[in-house]
Each structure stands twice: as C-alpha cells, then as structure tokens.
Amino acid sequence: MAYVKYKELTKYFNFSQEIDKTSLPKYVTDYVDEGEIIYKAYKTLSDRGVFTNDRMVLFDCNPISKSKKIHIIPYNSISTGAVLFKATSGAILLSFDSGYQIRLNFIKMDAQAKTELRKLFSYIMNKKGKKD
C-alpha cells in the first residue's frame, strides 16, 4: 500500500497590522480556550492570526467563496523556525515535526513593529516543546 502525504499546509499569510486583543471578532475568540492567554493578534484584509500562550490560531478567510479555513498549530509541533527582516517587512518561517511549513509575512513595518516581531518570534521559539 502506498502512502501519500497530504501537504496542503504550506501557506503564506501577509499580516498588515497588529490588532487590539480586546477587539477581536467573536469567531476568533471562539477558538481561544478558557484559561488561554492571547499574546498577540494580527490581521490582513480578511485573515486573522492569534498567538496565545499555547498555540497559534490562523484564520484563512476567502471573501469570494465565503469560506474560512482555521489552522490551529500548537507551539510544541514546531521543529525549526527563522525570522527574516527586510526594509519595510518581516517574516516568520516555521517548519513542523510533520514536515509541513508555513510562512507568516508581516508587511508595512517600521522599527517598532520589527521589534515586536522579534519578540513574537522569540516567544514562539521559547514555547516550542514546552507545556505550561
């Protein structure tokens, strides 16, 4: 019997701004467990990304087809990561134990936003492999 690995997760998000944790839509907060603490939240025109103390929850929304795909990724499934900085943007590149990869792009960044991205990357990498 042949085994074919399903590998659709390779995805790019282009987050354009950090959003206030208290003003998240209900469909986002519904995926945050009781007792889970939201560390950071970002958005694109239609997508959202929430980083909690245990995992990241990424909402891939397609306004044309009115569909929504939710990726829930525990930090302990991350095997390696890298952070990339360019003049006005940055990215977090993550590989998972399963072989999947994801790229989180952050666009329209100033120096302060890059500092926050570095903190987010450090937070994620310090959480990987740990249970609170």
**Per residue of the chain (132 residues), what is the pLDDT tens digit?**
555 454 555 577 889 999 998 889 898 899 999 999 999 999 988 889 999 999 999 998 887 888 888 999 999 999 999 999 999 999 999 998 888 889 999 999 999 999 999 999 999 999 876 655
Three-point CA angle 71, 107, 65, nearest 5°: 45
pTM recorded for the entire structure? 0.85
C-beta neighbour count of 18 within 10 angstroms = 16
Cα 70 from Cα 60, distance rounded (Å): 6
Task: Give yes or no for a contact between 72 and 59, defined as CB atoms under 8 angstroms apart.
Answer: no
Q: Supply φ then ψ for residue 70, to 5 degrees.
A: -110, 125
pLDDT of residue 2: 52
Q: Across-strand partners of 103? A: 12, 93
